[in-house]
Amino acid sequence: MVFIGVRAAPMVALTAFSVGVTLAMQAAHSLRELGAEMYIPDLVMVTLLREMGPVLIAVIVIGRSGSAVAAELGTMKVSEEIEALEVMAINPVQYLVVPRFLAMLVMLPALTIFGNYIGVFGGWAVCTFALDFNTAGYVLRALQSADTWDLYSGMIKSVVFAWIVITIACNAGLHVDGGAEGVGQATTASVVQALLAMLVTNAVLTGIFFFAA
Amino acid sequence: MNSNEPPIIEVIDLVHQFGERAVLNDISFNVHRGETLVIMGGSGCGKSTLLRHMIGSMKPTSGSVKIFGEEIAAMKESEIGRVRQRFGMLFQSGALLASLTVGENVSLPLFQHTDKSADEIEAIVKQKLEMVGLTGFEDLKPAEISGGMKKRVGLARALALDPELLFSDEPTSGLDPIMTAVVDQLTLKLARGSHMSAVVVSHDMTSAFRIATRMIMLGHGSIVAQGTPEEIRTSTNPEVHQFINGEADGPIPLNLSQDKHEDHQCVKPRPFALARYRFHHKSS
């Protein structure tokens, strides 16, 4: 849990901050032409909560923790550790997979919330230092624009992504064969599969939450 | 040894096939309480496969494997777990969990399968590590100790639950001669004192003759010879003679280029399959 969550925090913070800054700058450019600069906070907030937050944090966690889990379990498989557990009458799924599953299910949404805050902070930095917003105005607009459903939809996505990422990673790790080469292939496969599955699921969920309804 | 008692291990007509090739062919033997059975044989002749059948991680194509009188091949995972708590297994590499310390590795089965308190478990761990000559190594990680030490920790872990039966895959390979003797004496002591049975796969003939009460030699997936160490030592079978004396010349095919006994080969090379594999690699 420490590995998946706490140690990923600095990376999540940096990513979220740059995304917040970028969103605000892009929004400023486009919205200025329409004379609608006041909507910058809305755009930053809603985009982060609904899409960028869950997706980008999931990308980081896939690259960092998903690959690590796949490689770790894969190495355990090739060095007979999994078989040793089985022979000691310890169920490897219970002993190895369940704790990782729970850690991911808790930590990915937690990181997403954390990332959302930092992203909004990034937007604030641009608005305050480069544009004519004051802090109170920014916060007020941002909070007015988003409703709780924006937050919840992002969280639901995040939980679903966590489930996808950890299932794919554990599955890839436990089915490794063929030594070090197999571990490498399984790790790569887990990252690629998890990314694709996560992005497709994101599109489907966005469709369900905001398009079909 | 009480001959009226049912055998600890009973293997009857065990056959295992990978596709067309029979890796194990009509293997039958018994192991009684307190016996130490040594399984010998060249590489790739089915020793490890046979061991995997006995620990329930492979299912036979036909035949039966009974451990403690129960058919292990027909069991569900949960039932196999119950049987597995009664035996210990030492893997060739030690198979320690790299993320845990030496002490935690040995205590793992105790924490999982007993209600003992942490203090009791700590005492047992100390005692088991002392048995294999590793007092004071509790807090090191497996990566910080040598291969031979890992194997001895693996042995301590296998003995943690005081098993009635111990499986060892090459217990003495990679150990120095003195530690080999220590491990052998430990096996003997447990077999005589606690009536533990043991099945040992070994290439080390000195160690094998020291601990065995019975020996089996496997070749081409079948039993070539079976008997007491004395019977094996005096066997007139040329393959047994060649193997226990470690001679390069003899009836056992070595798959070397000058080998003239191709039809006896344990694992037949398949030149056509190999060529196809290479071709695939080039074209991709």
Tell me what the mean pLDDT of segment B111-119 comes to: 88
Question: With contact defined as beta carbons under 8 Å apart, do B83 and B75 qualify?
Answer: yes
Angstroms from B74 CA to nearest CA on chain A: 17
B57 to chain A, any CB pair closer than 8 A? The answer is: yes
Stated as kind and residue range, the H or E segment containing B11 is strand B9-18
Each residue's pLDDT tens digit, B260-270: 444 444 444 44
pLDDT at A4: 65
Do B156 and B137 touch, CB atoms closer than 8 A?
no
Does residue B272 surpass a pLDDT of 80? no
Partner residue opposite A88 with nearest CB, options B92, B98, B109: B109
Residue A2 touches partner B, C-beta closer than 8 Å: no
CB contact under 8 A, B98 and A76: yes
B92's tokens: 């060739």
Report pTM.
0.78
Q: Residue B168 — φ and ψ, nearest 5°? A: -130, 130
In this prediction, residue B265 carries a pLDDT of: 45
List of residues 6+ apart from A129 with CB closer than 8 A: none
pLDDT at B257: 61
Confidence of residue B278 (pLDDT cuts 50, 70, 90): very low
Contact A80 B93 (CB under 8 A): yes
Q: Is the pLDDT of residue B187 over 70?
A: yes
Please name the residue that has the structure tokens 């609608």: A36
Q: Does B95 touch chain A (CB under 8 A)?
A: yes
Q: How many CB pairs under 8 A join A and B?
A: 49
From the list A56, A45, A21, the residue with the least C-alpha distance to A150 is A45
Which of B85, B95, B112 comes nearest A84 by C-beta?
Answer: B95
The pLDDT of residue B281? 45
Q: Is B98 on the interface with A (CB under 8 A)?
A: yes
Closest by Cβ to A87, choosing from B55, B77, B99: B55
Instruction: Say what the ipTM of the complex is.
Output: 0.77
Q: Would you say A15 and A115 are in contact if contact means Cβ atoms under 8 Å apart?
A: yes
pLDDT surpassing 50 at residue B185: yes
The DSSP 8-state label assigned to residue A208 in this structure reads I
Residue B34 in 3-state DSSP?
coil
d(CA A177, CA B89): 22
Distance CA B256, CA A184 (A): 33
Task: Match 């899409």 to its residue by tokens.
Answer: A51
Q: Closest approach of chain B CAs to the CA of A26, in angstroms? A: 44
Which chain B residues are within 8 Å of A87, Cβ to Cβ?
A: 55, 57, 84, 89
Amino acid identity of residue B162, one-letter, is D
For the segment B46-102, what is each residue's pLDDT rounded down to a tens digit? Answer: 888 888 888 888 888 888 888 888 888 888 888 888 888 888 899 888 888 988 899
Distance in Å, alpha carbon of A13 to nearest chain B alpha carbon: 29
- Check pLDDT > 80 for residue B279: no
Query: Which chain B residue shows the shortest CA-CA distance from A91?
Result: B81
| Residue B157: closest CA among B108, B87, B84 | B108
Looking at beta carbons, which residues of chain A come within 8 Å of B96? 81, 84
Of A79, A80, A88, the CB nearest to B108: A88
As a whole number of angstroms, the distance between CA B21 and CA B40 comes to 21
Question: A206: closest CA among A74, A46, A78?
Answer: A46
What is the C-alpha to C-alpha distance for residues B56 and B45, in angstroms, rounded to an integer? 19
> Does B84 sit within 8 Å of A88, measured CB to CB?
yes
Residue B14 · residue B65 · CB < 8 Å: yes
Q: Which of A175, A85, A87, A91 is nearest to B56 (CA)?
A: A87
Whether the CB-CB separation of B183 and B171 falls below 8 Å is answered with yes
Side-chain-facing half-sphere of B5: CA atoms under 13 Å: 12
Query: Tens digits of per-residue pLDDT, B204-260?
Result: 888 889 889 999 998 888 888 888 988 888 888 888 888 888 888 777 776 666 544
Max distance between CA atoms of chain A, in angstroms, equals: 70
Q: Is B250 left (phi over 0), alpha (psi -120 to 50) or beta?
A: left
Q: How far apart are CA B166 and CA B159, in angstroms?
A: 8
The alpha carbon of residue A91 is apart from the nearest alpha carbon of chain B, in Å, by 9
Q: Is B32 within 8 Å of B4 (Cβ atoms)?
A: no
- CA dihedral A48→A54→A55→A57, nearest 10 degrees, is 100
Whether the CB-CB separation of B149 and B103 falls below 8 Å is answered with no
Query: One digit per residue, pLDDT tens: chain A, 213 residues?
Result: 666 667 777 777 888 888 877 877 777 778 777 877 778 888 888 888 888 889 999 998 899 889 999 999 999 998 889 889 988 888 888 888 998 999 889 888 988 888 888 888 888 888 888 887 788 888 888 888 888 888 888 899 999 999 999 999 999 999 888 888 889 999 999 999 999 999 999 999 999 888 876
**Minimum-distance CB partner of B85 among A83, A84, A89:** A89
DSSP secondary structure string, A5-39? TGGGHHHHHHHHHHHHHHHHHHHHHHHHHTT-GGG
Of residues B117, B136, B121, B129, the one with CA closest to residue B155: B129
User: Could you give the percent of chain B with pLDDT greater than 70?
Assistant: 88
Structure tokens at A187: 């790790």
53-92 of A, contacting B, C-beta below 8 A? 72, 75-76, 79-81, 83-91
Instruction: Return the axis-axis angle of helices A40-47 and A9-33, rounded to nearest 10°.
Output: 140
Tokens 């920014």 belong to A138
Residue A81 to residue B98, Cβ atoms within 8 A:
yes
CATH superfamily of B1-86+169-179+194-252: P-loop containing nucleotide triphosphate hydrolases (3.40.50.300)
Chain A residues with CB under 8 Å of B97 CB are: 76, 81, 84-85
For residue B138, pLDDT over 90 is answered with no
- For residues B188-214, give the mean pLDDT: 88
Residue-wise pLDDT tens digits, B27-45: 888 898 888 999 988 877 7
| Residue among A72, A79, A91 whose CB faces B95 most closely | A79
Tally Cβ neighbours within 10 Å of residue A92: 18
- Domain residue ranges of chain B, discontinuous segments joined by +: 1-86+169-179+194-252
Q: What is the reported pLDDT for A1? A: 61
Query: With an 8 Å Cβ cutoff, is A94 touching chain B?
Result: no
Q: Are strands B9-18 and B62-67 parallel, antiparallel or unpaired?
A: antiparallel
Residue B37 pairs in a beta bridge with B199, B214
B81 contact A CB<8A? yes
Which residues are CB-neighbours of A57 under 8 A, at least 6 positions away? A12, A15, A16, A108, A111, A112, A115, A158
Torsion of CA B115, B116, B122, B123, to 10 degrees: -150
